[in-house]
Amino acid sequence: MTARHFLTLTDLSSDELTTLLHRAVELKRLQHQGELYQPLKNKVLAMVFEKSSTRTRVSFEAGMTQFGGHAIFLSPRDTQLGRGEPIADSARVLSSMSDCIMVRTFEHEKIERFAEYSSVPVINGLTDEVHPCQLLADMQTYLEHRGEISGKIVSWIGDGNNMCHSYMHAAKLLDFQLNIACPEGYEPHSRYLEEASDHVRLMSDPAEACKQADLIVTDVWASMGQEDEQARREAAFAPYQVNKALMDIAKNDALFMHCLPAHRGEEVSADVIDGSQSVVWDEAENRLHAQKALLEYLLVE
């Protein structure tokens, strides 16, 4: 039997995603009440990180421990993968010794190749193209604060990057309207735009994108791997900062989200990210609960 992977949000159906989000809320309640629930006793998650991480690493590691299993952190500095061992060989070997593999890497094709040769589920912990685990947490956070997101208006302000692509997937699966405001030259890939065309409106004016918005989301201007573009990007993105003036255009009860890490004074002003409409700390914590729901879904019979 081929393993069930989670490489993009669209590896789940709308119903599966909705069920998983509600399960994440339930798992959070159990954990906050201190109830022991260990469905993954003796199970092992291998975590391959080719880029830095705080939230993804800690949430998967803590989640596996809480579930009674174990997680192994693998960095390119210490593995043979980092010395050029082929992806296919690494995937075969790691999957023969573990029950699930999480991969954070650069090119999306790399994780697809990894999954092709893995006999156990592969989870995408971020590629240059998408960040589906973050969307599980974001959508759980919206659900907890405001209820179902279907029919709502979400504004994506800034770079048409991996997070933006995953928001486009979420818009399609959960049936919300996504207004994307990007500077010219930084739009999302056309393939993603075509796939989600019914649910996405692309514009250049951030104020226009925030009208009637229920949720405003942004991300760093230079993602991991783009550090040398920082100065050029700062100039292009300067009018795209999410600040009080932009939040005031949205609905009064609009929420603010950011996957973190954030740069106060760049993509978001300090008064917004640290203000009353921001739910970024719940969003970060929900990485733990949403990924536990994902692990349970992929690994528990």
CB of 259 to ligand CP, least distance (A): 4
Rank residues 127 and 199 by Cβ distance to ligand CP and give the closer one: 127
Is residue 162 at the binding interface for ligand NVA, with CB under 6 A as the rule?
A: yes
Vertex 217 angle, CA 215 and 223, to 5°: 170
Buried b (16+ CB within 10 A) or exposed e, 125-160: bbbbbbbbbbbbbbbbbbbbeeeebeebbbbbbbbb
- Residue 165: which of ligand NVA, ligand CP, none does it interact with, CB under 5 to 8 A by kind? none
| 264 is a catalytic site residue | no
| 259 is a catalytic site residue | yes
What is the largest distance, in Å, between two alpha-carbon atoms of the chain?
A: 54
State the amino acid at position 212 in one-letter form: Q
Residue pair 236/183 in contact by the 8 Å Cβ criterion? yes
| 258 is a catalytic site residue | no
Counting Cβ atoms within 10 Å, is residue 207 exposed (0-12), middle (13-18) or buried (19+)?
middle
Site string for ligand NVA, 238-267 (x = CB under 6 A): ---------------------x--------
Is residue 223 at the binding interface for ligand NVA, with CB under 6 A as the rule?
A: yes
- Residue 162: which of ligand NVA, ligand CP, none does it interact with, CB under 5 to 8 A by kind? ligand NVA
CB of 55 to ligand CP, least distance (A): 4
| 219 is a catalytic site residue | yes
Measured distance CA(262)–CA(258) in Å, rounded:
7
Other beta carbons within 10 angstroms of residue 186's beta carbon come to: 16
| 291 is a catalytic site residue | no
Is residue 59 at the binding interface for ligand NVA, with CB under 6 A as the rule?
A: no
Cis amide prior to 261 (ω within 30 degrees): yes
Is residue 127 at the binding interface for ligand NVA, with CB under 6 A as the rule?
A: no
Is residue 291 at the binding interface for ligand NVA, with CB under 6 A as the rule?
A: no
Site string for ligand NVA, 64-103 (x = CB under 6 A): ----------------------------------------
Number of residues that bind ligand NVA (CB under 6 A): 10
Is residue 224 at the binding interface for ligand NVA, with CB under 6 A as the rule?
A: yes
State the amino acid at position 47 in one-letter form: M
Other beta carbons within 10 angstroms of residue 70's beta carbon come to: 17
**Binding stretches for ligand NVA (CB under 6 A):** 126, 131, 161-163, 219-220, 223-224, 259
Would you please indicate which residues are annotated as catalytic (active-site) residues?
A: 104, 131, 134, 219, 259, 287
